[in-house]
């Protein structure tokens, strides 16, 4: 009853229900290149005659540059780049939001440092060794200024001010008390909803600053061409956003900037914006007139982007019969020294909170985002979702424990599900939920995990205490909606049938490693019924593709795949017209099928399969008879952003003597609609669990408040991320894919990548409570914090 099954009759009108490739495990297109080490990343690009760049990072958290002496570096043959050499255009590295939703506060190289590790100068030389020698030869005099590292301290009168003025679109904004953004959202009447409740729960929660920890530090190569144009290879999730920003900064028409699409070694949100190394590299290339390459160090990467730390104050009202009558969240965000995306971050966080439960329509979100002298923050796999989910799902668990509700039934009673409104990426993007795997995940997962028999913490004794927890989460598939919102969202694809019946696909969508390119190829192959190995992915750049906003917001398969599907459908119509003329049949009487024996797609007469032509024959005859190339390009916007859901069941063991927590058993339910490639979906769910485990129990980026430097010095040696050793054993980590079909998605598919992380933190924390009876309101939950909490509990007993 609660399953939204995948059925042919649920398919959108005009799309056949095919199963030749969709939903089946296939080999990755990019697998051989990756495992053999032949995949070319930005750091592998070599252009003859290029120079190597190096960046000077600020040693101070807050300082004015008084003077610079570049003479010694220039005597070595280096090209030096300072504040005087770069455009003074104020910009924001993020190009996803509309101009009215984008604050601007930075230039390429400033004359004032606002955080340790801020790029201040750069050099380029014929060798990397010489570049670093020249970098060390720069002589800089600083005026060190007072700094502030705590957002609450930053808002006080008399605190050091990072900015006087910033810009919102073309409007100049005065910054007061370091408050960069305020965003308040009200629906219904929260106070009335709380009055209707029998109990009001109120508490504070805090999630820390961590690092995206992607495999590849940022890199860029920029080549100035003889016609004044720039060719760019870089680590970026949106080649078109990169092109737009460089055109804006260097006052060049976009036809003079070509950004190449490249693979990159993971993003986790760290490349939604245009990474700082790219405009620096471009400025060096413009000044030197030569190609320049910059590869960021790991230390530089640590200081270029972190995840948003946020403090939440939460109030929920609940009746004795288990109805949530109102929800209120107040958020304080420390986004660091530059705005990349705190305004949409707070909008999204409000949306994740509002869409998690119904709250009887009574919702308040009040958000304040503050400048501090720390590393700027940007998205990281969920963009506010794991943060607020930890707060809300922890309180839901507390409500169930205190009021005696079954955690599964209480959630089922209050969730937003099919037919309910969903805020995708914030209040300006609203749509109706058309598919949901939450019910299956909660009901079937509880049975499979034997969750009802987990016991109470009061009854548990001994050195090792075992407990189980549950949490649910979701994310949006893209940022589209019936009406365009504050986040730009549309995609592009070209599909072409070659003269031998093979197919080329051209897409600006990037692949972060999860298999988006494979999904797009399979969608096209399914529409045209062409064997997958005959579908190629063409090299793409900004000159041969139309605009695509960015591969973010779990939109790759749903939006990028949606554009490819539409392009393939329109191409199939052209194919039927051409085949009909060759076969003397009406296009509407034709269909495509796959012929395994000929290893080709075929066009045949419906109900009369004896009359058919292979796509190879049709394309070849079109070539011989000069009928033209079968090709179609599509600029396409999905007018929906369906939620993809997860449910996590986690079992923990807590050592009462050491505080060490282990995870013997985990069960994950994921709802991505139709899984294009089930193994890759499961891989994303397992990988995201690993990231969530690190966020919950290990990762933390404290700042030295004397110097403003990261205490780990920007090195992995003092930044613990979980390995396979900390994960549950393979046989005890079970992943189930919900049986769902999303009617607005290509072949019923929607996303999963960011949803996969959303509820990990909450489930682990809830399991710890079930084991030892201590509610942690702050992560990470380290052994030291566990022991401290146990001592406090013992002292209060």
* Domain limits for position 305: 42-380
What would the pLDDT profile of 276-288 be if each residue is shown by its tens digit? 999 999 999 999 9
- The domain total for the chain is 3
End position of a domain, from candidates 584, 615, 636: 636
Same domain (yes/no): 88, 163:
yes
Please give the pLDDT value at position 1: 30
CA distance linking residue 543 with residue 261, whole number of Å = 11
Q: Is 729 exposed, middle or buried (0-12, 13-18, 19+ CB in 10 A)?
A: exposed
In a domain, 411, yes or no: no
Q: Return the pLDDT at 481.
A: 83
Q: Do 250 and 370 reside in the same domain of the chain?
A: yes
Between CA 289 and CA 73 the distance in angstroms is 18
Query: Contact at 8 Å (CB) between 466 and 460?
Result: yes
pLDDT range class, residue 77, cuts 50, 70, 90: very high
Burial of residue 529 (number of CB atoms within 10 Å: 0-12, 13-18, 19+):
buried
Pairing of strands 661-671, 643-655: antiparallel
Q: Are residues 644 and 631 in the same domain?
A: no
pTM of the model: 0.95
Asked if the structure places residue 600 within a domain, the reply is: yes
> Do 460 and 496 share a domain, yes or no?
no
- CA–CA separation, 532 and 330 (whole Å): 50
Average per-residue pLDDT for the chain: 95
Given a cut of 50, is residue 9 above it in pLDDT? no
Write the DSSP assignment of 409-428 as a string of letters. HHHHHHB--TTSEEESSSTT
Residue that is last in its domain, among 600, 617, 636: 636
Same domain, yes or no, for 17 and 82? Answer: no
Q: Is 471 found in the same domain as 508?
A: no
Q: What is the pLDDT of residues 765-782, one digit of tens each?
A: 999 999 999 999 999 999
**Averaged pLDDT for residues 489-512:** 96
- 464 and 507 belong to one structural domain: no
CA distance 471 to 764: 9
Residues 307 and 182 sit within 8 Å (Cβ to Cβ): no
Does the residue 283 lie in any domain? Answer: yes
Residues 551, 663, single domain; the answer is no
- 656, 607 contact by CB (below 8 A): no
* 626 and 574 inside one domain: yes
Provide the pLDDT for residue 95. 77
The verdict on residue 559 lying in a domain is: yes
Q: Is residue 385 part of a domain?
A: no
Q: How far apart are CA 312 and CA 205, in angstroms?
A: 5
In the numeric block, the tokens 């899984």 are attached to 675
Q: Where is the domain boundary, 605, 621, 636?
A: 636
**What are 578-610's pLDDT values in tens digits?**
999 999 999 999 999 999 889 999 999 999 999
Q: Does some domain include residue 1?
A: no
Residues 609, 646, single domain; the answer is no
Does residue 636 contact residue 492 with C-beta atoms inside 8 Å? yes
Q: Assess if residue 185 is contained within a domain.
A: yes
* Cα-based torsion angle of the residue sequence 257, 263, 264, 265 in order, rounded to the nearest 10 degrees: -170
Residues across the chain: 797
> What's the pLDDT band for 721 if we cut at 50, 70, 90?
very high
Please tell me whether residues 443 and 590 are part of one structural domain.
no
73 shares its domain with 207? yes
Residue 395: inside a domain? no
Q: What is the number of alpha carbons within 13 Å of residue 664 lying toward its C-beta?
A: 14
What CATH number does residue 26 fall under? Answer: 3.30.365.10
Burial of 317 (0-12, 13-18, 19+ CB in 10 A): buried
């Amino acid at each position: 009853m609660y399953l939204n099954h995948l059925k042919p009759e649920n398919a959108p009108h005009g799309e056949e229900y095919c199963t030749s490739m969709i939903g089946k495990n296939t080999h990755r297109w990019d697998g051989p290149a990756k495992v053999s080490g032949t995949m070319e990343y930005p750091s592998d690009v070599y252009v003859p005659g290029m120079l190597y760049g190096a960046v000077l990072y600020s040693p101070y958290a807050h300082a004015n540059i008084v003077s610079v002496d570049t003479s010694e570096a220039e005597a070595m043959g280096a090209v030096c780049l300072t504040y005087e050499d770069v455009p003074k255009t104020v910009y924001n590295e993020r190009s996803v939001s509309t101009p009215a939703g984008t604050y601007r506060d930075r230039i390429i190289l400033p004359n004032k440092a606002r955080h340790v590790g801020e790029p201040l100068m750069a050099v380029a030389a014929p060798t990397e060794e010489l570049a670093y020698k020249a970098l060390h030869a720069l002589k800089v005099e600083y005026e060190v200024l007072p700094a502030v590292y705590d957002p609450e301290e930053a808002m006080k009168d008399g605190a050091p001010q990072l900015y006087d003025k910033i810009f919102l679109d073309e409007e100049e904004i005065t910054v007061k008390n370091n408050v960069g953004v305020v965003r308040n959202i009200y629906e219904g009447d929260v106070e009335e909803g709380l009055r209707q409740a029998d109990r009001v729960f109120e508490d504070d929660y805090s999630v820390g600053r961590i690092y995206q920890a992607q495999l590849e530090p940022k890199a860029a190569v920029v080549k100035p061409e003889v016609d004044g144009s720039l060719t760019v290879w870089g680590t970026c999730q949106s080649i078109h956003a990169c092109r737009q920003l460089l055109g804006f900064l260097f006052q060049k028409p976009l036809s003079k900037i070509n950004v190449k699409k490249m693979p990159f070694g993971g993003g986790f949100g760290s490349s939604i914006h245009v990474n700082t190394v790219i405009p620096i590299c471009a400025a060096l290339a413009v000044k030197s007139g030569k190609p320049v390459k910059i590869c960021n160090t790991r230390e530089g990467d640590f200081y270029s982007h972190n995840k948003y730390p946020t403090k939440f104050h939460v109030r929920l009202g609940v009746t004795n019969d288990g109805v949530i009558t109102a929800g209120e969240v107040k958020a304080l965000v420390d986004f660091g020294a530059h705005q990349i995306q705190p305004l949409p971050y707070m909008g999204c966080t409000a949306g994740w909170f509002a869409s998690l439960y119904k709250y009887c329509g009574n919702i308040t979100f009040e958000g304040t985002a503050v400048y501090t002298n720390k590393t700027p923050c940007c998205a990281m796999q969920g963009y506010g979702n794991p943060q607020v989910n930890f707060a809300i799902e922890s309180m839901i668990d507390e409500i169930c424990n205190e009021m005696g509700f079954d955690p599964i039934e209480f959630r089922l009673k209050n969730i937003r599900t099919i037919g309910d409104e969903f805020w995708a990426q914030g209040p300006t993007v609203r749509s109706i939920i058309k598919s949901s795997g939450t019910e299956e995940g909660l009901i079937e997962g509880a049975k499979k995990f034997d969750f009802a028999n987990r016991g109470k913490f009061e009854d548990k004794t001994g050195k090792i205490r075992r407990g189980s927890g549950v949490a649910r989460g979701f994310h949006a598939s893209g940022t589209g909606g019936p009406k365009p919102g504050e986040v730009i969202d549309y995609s592009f694809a070209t599909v072409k049938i070659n003269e031998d019946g093979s197919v080329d696909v051209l897409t600006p969508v990037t692949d972060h490693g999860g298999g988006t390119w494979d999904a797009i190829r399979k969608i096209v192959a399914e529409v045209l019924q062409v064997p997958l190995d005959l579908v190629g992915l063409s090299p793409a750049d900004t000159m041969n593709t139309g605009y695509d906003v960015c591969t973010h917001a779990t939109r790759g398969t749903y939006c990028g795949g949606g554009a490819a599907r539409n392009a393939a459908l329109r191409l199939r119509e052209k194919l039927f017209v051409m085949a009909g003329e060759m076969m003397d049949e009406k296009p509407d009487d034709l269909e495509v099928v796959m012929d395994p024996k000929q290893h080709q797609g075929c066009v045949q007469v419906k109900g009369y399969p004896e009359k058919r032509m292979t796509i190879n024959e049709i394309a070849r005859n079109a070539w011989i008879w000069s009928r033209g190339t079968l090709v179609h390009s599509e600029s396409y916007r999905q007018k929906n952003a369906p939620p993809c859901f997860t449910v996590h069941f986690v079992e923990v063991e807590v050592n009462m003597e050491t505080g060490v927590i282990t995870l013997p058993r985990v069960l994950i339910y994921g709802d991505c609609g139709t899984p294009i490639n089930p193994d890759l979906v499961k891989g994303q769910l397992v990988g995201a669990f690993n990231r969530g485990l690190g966020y919950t129990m290990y990762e933390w980026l404290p700042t030295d408040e004397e110097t403003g430097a990261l205490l780990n010095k920007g090195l992995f040696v003092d930044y613990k991320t979980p390995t396979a050793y900390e994960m549950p054993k393979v046989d005890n980590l079970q992943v189930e894919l919900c049986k769902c079909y999303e009617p607005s998605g290509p072949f019923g598919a929607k996303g999963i990548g960011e949803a996969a992380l959303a509820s990990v933190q909450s489930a682990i924390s809830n399991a710890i409570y079930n084991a030892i009876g201590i509610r942690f309101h702050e992560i990470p939950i380290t052994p030291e914090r566990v022991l401290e909490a146990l001592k406090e509990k013992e002292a209060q007993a």
